A and B are shown apart, each in its own frame.
Chain A
Amino acid sequence: MKPAPFRYHRPSTPAEACEALAAELRDGAGAKVLAGGQSLVPLLSMRLASPPALVDINHLDPAAGLAAIEIRPEGVHVGALVRHADLLASEEARLAQPLLAQALAHVAHPTIRNRGTSVGSIVHADSAAELPAVLALLGGSLDVGSVRGTRTVPAEELFVGPLESSLAPDELALGATFPALADGAGVAFAEVARRHGDYALVGVAALVSNDTVKAAYLSVSDVPTVIDLTDVPDDDLGEAALSRLDPIGDIHATADYRAQLVRVLTAKVVREARKAR
C-alpha cells in the first residue's frame, strides 16, 4: 500500500496553485489538490487513485488567509487550510453557527481532525461525510479560484454525484461560507455509526426556523440531500423524508435498517432543533 509516483507542486500563493493546476490540466490528466490528505492519501496508497500530479497547498503563504476562520455578516467563512480541529475549537464559529461544532464532533477521530480540512471534506463530496450535508442544509457556498478568476458556488450546485463536485479539474477551493444561525432558528445533528468515529450509517442535520423545517441526510443517497419538512406532522417526519430518499443496503446495514434510522433520527433532530431555538 504505497502511492504510485506523481509530480509534486508546492505553490506559495493561491495564484501559483491555480497556475500549477492549469498547467497540469493542459499537459494531461490534471492534478489533485493535497490539503489535509486524510481522504486522499489512503486512496493513493491503495492505488484506487493515481493522479499524475499533486498540488500541495499546505505551504501557502499565511498572508493569503486560507488558514483563517472569519465571522462575516453572511456567516462563518472557513479558509481552505482550516483543519477540522480548529473549526471545532472555534468559540466564535460555534456561537455563529452551532451546527458546525455539533457535526464536526462526529468527523472521524481527533487525530484525523487535526489534519483534515473542512473545505477539503466538502470538495471531496462524500455523501457519507458530515460537512457537505451541513453546507447543503445551511445553504452555504464555496469560493473557488482558477487561472480564470474566482467564483462562488452555492451548495445546491456543488454536489453532483458520488464523490463528485461541480468544480472544474483546475479549480482550487479557497474557502467555504456557512450561513450563521438566524435569530429564532435552531439546529441539531445526530448520527448512528457502527463504531464511534466511523462514517455514519445514517446521519441527519436539522434546521428549524419560524416558518421552515429542513433536514439534511448523509449516507442515504448519492449526494447530500436536503429535504423540506415544513408543515409535515411530527409523526410523519421520517416517512416524509423517506419518500425523497433511497437508502441502500451494504455490508454494515440493510436498506430497511437505514430507513429505520432515518425515521428515528429525523424525529430526534427535529425535536432537538426545536428545543434549541
Chain B
Amino acid sequence: MTTKLMGQPVQRTEDQRLLRGRGRYADDVAVSPGTLHCAVLRSPHAHARIVDIDVSGVLDVDGVHAVWTYDDLTGPMAEPLPLLIPHPALTEGRTQYALAKDRVNYVGEAIAFVVADDRYLAEDAVGRIEVAYDLLPPVVGIDAARAAEHLVHDDVPGNVAARMEQATGDVEAAMAKAPHTLTLDLTVERSACTPLEGRGTVARWDPDTDRLQVWTSTQTSTGVRAVVAAKLGLDLGQVDVVTPDVGGGFGVKINHPWPEELLVPLAARALGRTVKFTEDRREHFISSAHERGQVQHVEVGFDDDGRLLALDVRFWHDHGAYIPYGLIVPIITSTQLLGPYKPEVYRVVFESLYTNTVMVTPYRGAGRPQGCYAMERTMDAIAGFLGKDRTEVRAANFIQPDEFPYDQGLIFQDGRELEYDSGDYPAMLEKIKALVGWDDFPAYQQEMAAQGRRVGIGLACYVEGTGVGPYEGAHVHIETSGKVKVATGLTTQGQGHQTAFAQLVADTLGCRFEDVEVVTGDTRRMPYAVGTFASRAAVMSGSAIHLAALRAREKVLRIAADALEAAEDDLEINDGVVSVKGNPLDGGAVIDLGTVAVLSNPLRYAFDEKSRVATQFTVGDPGKPPVAEDDEPGLEGKDFYSPERSTFASGMHAVIVETDPDTAEISILKYAVVHDCGRLINPMIVEGQIHGGVAQGVGGALYERMAYDESGQLLNASFMDFLMPYVTEVPDGIDIDHLETPSPLNPLGIKGAGEAGVIPSAAVFASAISDAEGFALTAMPISPSDLFTLRQEHS
C-alpha cells in the first residue's frame, strides 16, 4: 500500500543538484567564451532632463560590440513599458522606457545599454559614455510628494497617480456615535526583497528556426514571453522563455519586463550571438524595485469592550518614479488591514504618490505588513486606552468560526469580493498565548525589572488572501518507461515545488514519488500560466496538478480495465502498478503504468521491444478507429484550476524582546508563531517558509531601510549598509504551532504559506518594544539609535 505523501516532511529532490553545485541559475546558462555580456549606464541623478548622450568614446573600443540608447529603439520598443495591472482609479499611470527617452526620474534609471565580450569591458565602456543633464528638483519622500512643490511628472498634478476609496457604511456617523475615539499616525519606511541572486537574463536567437530562446530569473515566464514577443514584434510561437533556478524572488521578480529582459533579446537578435545580463548588487538596489514606504492615519471609534464601531483609515503610498504594477500594494494594505476583525463600519482612502526614487512593486507580504501594523497598533492603543489586556480587545473583535464565509464588504486585489473562506481565530489566539506564555509574562516582566532589565511582549494577528487567480494549469505525462513528467507554468524560487508537487502527483496517480519529475516556468512545457506571487503556487498549481493527475489516472484506469478485463472501479494503483483491488500483486493480473502508456498510443512502428505490443497487427479492434473519436493518443492529463476567489490563510505571532537600558540595543528572547494555511502538503517546507519570513520580518522591523538623501541618492546601496540579518540577528529558535482549517475552495483544502512569516513583524516588534519601554512606537523600522532618540523624547 502506498503511503500518502500529502502532509509528510519529504526531503527535497531539488537539493541533490543544488547541494552539488549543479544548480542552473541565469548567470550559469551559456557559460562559454562566445557569450556576450552587458552593462547599463544608469542615471546618477534623481531627476533630470537628458540634454545629450555621446557614445562616440565607446564605439571603437576593443571588445565592445554594440551600444543602444533610446534613439536606437524603434516600434514598440520605443514605447513606454507596459502598465501591467490597469485599474479605474489609476488615472495617471506612468511607466518608464526601456532606455530613458529624454528624462530620468530616479537614480539608477537605464540610459544606455552596452554589449561587450565580457562584463569588465562592458563596464569600461559604460564609463566612457558622456551624458549632459539639465538637473530638475527631485521629489523624495511622501511629505515632499504630498506637498507637491515640485512634480515628478509634469503632467501629473499633485504627484498623485491614483486616489481610491472603499467604505462599508457611513463611517462618519458611526464615529460620531462611538463612545471612545483615538487617532494614530503610523509610518513604515522602505525596504526591499534583496534576493541573494539579482536579476539575470540570457537570450539566444536561432536564425535557422527564426526563434528566440530566453532564460530569465523571473517569477513569471509566461508574462515575460508575452511582452518580449509584443515588444520585439515576434509571434508568441517564436519565443520560448525558460526560468532556470532562481536565487530568490520575494516579489521583485514578478514585475516584468525589466528593461534588460527586452534589451538582451533585442541584442541577441541584432548581433546573432548569445547575450547575457547579470545584475550586480549595486544595480539591484538602485534599479530593481522597493516596497513598504507608507504614511498611515487611523481614526477609530470603539465601545467599552474595545469593539470596533468605526474604523477610518487614510494612507499615502510612495510608489516611486513609475507604477508598472498598478495599485496592487496599496489595495492589499487597504483591504487586508482588517485582519481577523470585523469593524462595524470601515472606510479607507489612499493616494498613490510619485517620487523620484526606485519604483515600488510587491515585496513578500505586499502591503499586508503595513496594514497589519496599522490595525495592530490600533488594537494596542485601544487596549491601552481601556486598560485591558491586548488579547482581550482582539478577541472581542474576531470573526467567529461559525461566521464563515465572511464577506468584509470590500473589493480585493483580484477584483473580487474580500470574502474569507475559513479560519478559527479564537482557537488560534489560545494557541499563541500558550506558546509564548502570555499569561505568565507580567510576572516575568516584574522579575526582570527588579534586576534592572527591560523586557516586553508583543502580539500581532493577520489574515492573508492567498492563491489569487486567474488560474494555473498542469500537464501530467506518463511515459512508456513509467516515469511521470509533470509541467506547471508558474516558476520556482526556492519553495520546493519539485518536491511538493511530486508528492501530490504520487498520491493522486498512485505512482512512485521517485518516478515523478516536475518542471516549472518553462513555456515550452506549459504555455498558459500566470506566475508565482501572492502565496499562490501551492493553491493554484497544486490544485491544477491534482486535477491533471486525476485526469491521467482516469485514463490509466480505462486502459488498464480493458487490458486486465476488469471494471475500472475494481482497480487500484499503487507504486505505479495497476491491479484489481484485493488481489495479491504477485498472483493476480497487474499492469504497470509504463505498459499502460504503451497501450495508450496505437503505433505503426515499434521503436523498441516494449512498444511492439501497441503496433497495428497486435492491438485494436479492426472495426473501430485506433483512436476513438473522443480520445487522443498518449497517457496524459491536463487541467486548469481557476477559483472564484482567494483563500484566506491566517496567523498570529508573538515576541518577547529585551531592550538595553543604556545602549538601547534590542534583543529577541522568544519568538512564537501560530499559523493556519489549511492542509499542509509538506510541513518541513512550510516551516522553512515561516522561518524565512520571520527572519525577513526581523530585518524589516529592526534593521533594513532604504536611506535616501534629499537629492534622491540611495545612501546604503550595498550589503555593508543595507542591514540584512545574519544568523546573529535572528531568533535562536522559533516556536511554531499549526492550525489546519481546510479551504473549501480547492480540492485539497490548501491555503498559501509563502508570505505569512513576514506580515506581522513590524506590528509585533512595535508592540513588544512599546511594552518594554512604556511608550507607543509609531514609526518602523526601529534601530537602537531611533529608540534612544525616542527615550529622550519621552523622558
Contact = CB atoms under 8 A, between A and B. Distances in A.
Answer whether A and B touch in the complex at a CB cut-off of 8 Å.
yes
A3 B121 CA distance: 10
B784 A257 contact: yes
Contacts, number: 67
A7 interface: no
> Which size bracket describes the interface of A in this complex?
20 to 34
A252 B665 contact: no
A260 B725 contact: no
Nearest to A255: B785
A256 B707 CA distance: 19
Interface string A153-189: 0000000000000000000000000000000000000
A252 B783 contact: yes
B792 interface: yes
Interface string B116-136: 000110011001000000000
Nearest to A202: B663
A257 B124 contact: no
B721 interface: yes
A5 B63 CA distance: 14
Interface in A186-207: 192, 194-199, 201
Nearest to B706: A251
A2 B663 contact: no
Interface in A215-251: 251
A46 B721 contact: no
B282 A46 contact: yes
Given A2-B119, A47-B127, A195 B665 contact: no
B703 interface: yes
Contacts of B119: 2
Given A46-B282, A196-B728, A264-B663, A253 B785 contact: yes
B726 interface: yes
B721 A260 contact: no
> Which size bracket describes the interface of B in this complex?
20 to 34
Nearest to A109: B726
Given A4-B124, A253-B783, A195 B728 contact: yes
A225 to B, nearest CB: 20
A150 interface: no
A192 B665 contact: yes
Interface in A249-277: 251-254, 256-257, 260-261, 264
A257 B664 contact: yes
A1 interface: yes
B663 A195 contact: no
Contact of B729 (A1, A46, A192, A195): A195
B789 interface: yes
A197 B716 contact: no
B703 A251 contact: no
A195 B703 contact: yes
B726 A195 contact: yes
Contact of A2 (B120, B707, B726): B120
Contacts of B726: 195-197
Contacts of A251: 707, 715-716, 721
B280 A252 contact: no
Contacts of A198: 720, 723
Given A2-B120, A2-B123, A254 B789 contact: yes
A125 B787 CA distance: 31
A198 B280 CA distance: 21
A192 B784 CA distance: 10
Residue of A4, A194, A199 ringed by the most chain B CB atoms within 10 A: A194
A5 B720 CA distance: 24
B664 A197 contact: no
B662 to A, nearest CB: 4
Contacts of A196: 726, 728-729
Interface of A: 1-5, 46-47, 192, 194-199, 201, 251-254, 256-257, 260-261, 264
In the A-B complex, list the 4 residue pairs whose CB atoms are closest, starting with the nearest.
A196-B728, A257-B785, A253-B785, A251-B707
Given A253-B783, A261-B663, 20 more contacts: A1-B281, A4-B124, A5-B120, A46-B282, A192-B663, A192-B665, A192-B784, A194-B783, A194-B784, A195-B703, A195-B723, A196-B729, A251-B707, A251-B715, A251-B721, A252-B783, A254-B785, A254-B788, A256-B792, A257-B664
